Amino acid sequence: MEVTTPEISVIIPIFNEEASISALGQELTESLGSLGKTWEVVFVNDGSTDRSGELLDKAVDENERFTVVHFRRNFGQTAAISAGIRFARGKIIVPMDGDLQNDPRDIRRLLDKMAEGYEVVSGWRKNRKDPLTKRVPSSLANAVISAVTGVRLHDYGCTLKAYRREALKDVFLYGEMHRFVPVYAAMRGARVAEIVVGHRARAGGKSTYGLERTGKVLLDLIVVKFFLSFMTKPIHFFGGLGSLCVIGSFLSLLGAIVFKFIPPDGPWGPFRHRDFLGTPLPLLAVLLAAIGILMILQGVLAEMVMRAYYESQGRDPYVVLRVRKRGDSHRCPKP
């Protein structure tokens, strides 16, 4: 029997969502069935300890378009989405939450926007049905992420997004990085859009995300910014910090010398120190010099690792859109 590649793959991480699985499966079947496209749903059971795994197996037995991937234990949402992408076969990947807060009917709207020429379409929960304690930190985090990365989205935390499979090529997810996939895609030249999607109050179960996630997001943002700006030139990052430390060391040493030779009867006389070690400036100079040299050496090591990363795997630090020669009819599209 020939296995056809579905046009759409919906990926849903599940962790203790037994109250939502039955209704979610029914809504997905109705919404995806109305699209007129071939589709599949990949559930990833992220080590649930309730009856979620049992209910997912039952759903798979009842619907041949459903697939479930069971984890041995809880690995987190990023790992679940990464596994879903690995096992999905569709040309368009649509991750969404499994708690019924995302509306499967919005998948059609994501696809309609993607048809305008975008590789990534992100959902924006404009009228979010979550408590203020979750909305305020999320809004602040979204503003910071947009400012740092340059990819302007209102809602990085919304799981409901649509990706063309090509946009996910060479995107590897670790830690809590799933919310930054649009940034990685944009880094490789993908066109990113955002649309308002519906958001519903949680019907059952318990949210597994709290305020502690904000700190993790900000730490992940540092990693993302490094990849965005210094992935192919890490010496500029580490060498720049190291150079600042060396300059600070020189200024500290110069200040110690100046304080030693200040005229005692001048306006700065009270700051004079006959003993060269009478101020902490010499020790600060030594400390900054050591840190600066170590940072520069770290940059050299990072350059070696970066070159080994690209050269050992045959990767290129660029993405080619199209090669055109004289006489070709297809010109490069406008950005």
Q: Is 195 a member of any domain?
A: yes
| Percent of the chain whose predicted confidence (pLDDT) is above 70 | 84
Residues 306 and 194 in one domain: no
Q: Give the pLDDT of residue 255.
A: 82
Cβ neighbours of residue 301 under 8 Å, at least 6 residues apart? Answer: none
3-state SS class at 268: coil
Residues 199 and 267 in one domain: no
Q: Is 266 a member of any domain?
A: yes
What predicted TM-score, i.e. pTM, was given to this entire model?
0.76
Residue finishing a domain among 179, 199, 230: 230
Q: Is 321 a member of any domain?
A: no
Cβ neighbours of residue 70 under 8 Å, at least 6 residues apart? Answer: 45, 53, 56
Please report how the helices 132-149 and 212-230 are oriented relative to each other, as an axis angle in degrees rounded to 10.
Answer: 10
Residue with tokens 């995107």: 171
Going by C-alpha positions, the residue among 158, 166, 142 that lies closest to residue 195 is 158
Q: Over the stretch 279-310, which tens digit does the pLDDT of each residue have?
A: 788 899 999 999 999 999 998 998 888 888 77
Interatomic CA distance for residues 159 and 98, integer angstroms: 10
Please report how the helices 21-33 and 52-62 are oriented relative to each other, as an axis angle in degrees rounded to 10.
Answer: 30
Residues 156 and 298 in one domain: no
Q: Report the domain count for the chain.
A: 2
Going by C-alpha positions, the residue among 46, 138, 149 that lies closest to residue 99 is 46
Q: Concatenated DSSP letters for 120-161?
A: EEEEE-TT--S-HHHHHHHHHHHHHHHHHHS---S-TT---E
Q: Over the stretch 234-293, which tens digit does the pLDDT of each residue have?
A: 888 899 999 999 999 999 988 888 777 766 555 555 555 555 566 788 899 999 999 999
Residue finishing a domain among 230, 262, 296: 230
Q: Is 45 a member of any domain?
A: yes
Which pLDDT band holds residue 335 (cuts at 50, 70, 90)?
very low
Cβ neighbours of residue 97 under 8 Å, at least 6 residues apart? Answer: 12, 13, 159, 160
Q: 168 lies in which domain range?
A: 8-230
Interatomic CA distance for residues 80 and 295, integer angstroms: 36
Residues 94 and 220 in one domain: yes
The answer to whether the CB of 18 falls within 8 A of the CB of 40 is no
Residues 77 and 192 in one domain: yes
Going by C-alpha positions, the residue among 58, 46, 57 that lies closest to residue 16 is 46
Q: Is 164 a member of any domain?
A: yes
The answer to whether the CB of 166 falls within 8 A of the CB of 119 is yes
Q: Which residues pair with 44 in a beta bridge?
A: 13, 69
Buried b / exposed e along 67-83 (16+ C-beta atoms within 10 A): bbbebeebbbbbbbbbb
Residues 259 and 222 in one domain: no
Q: Residue 142: pLDDT above 70?
A: yes
Residue finishing a domain among 176, 202, 230: 230
What DSSP character marks residue 116? T
Residues 41 and 78 in one domain: yes
What DSSP character marks residue 190? -
Q: Is 160 a member of any domain?
A: yes
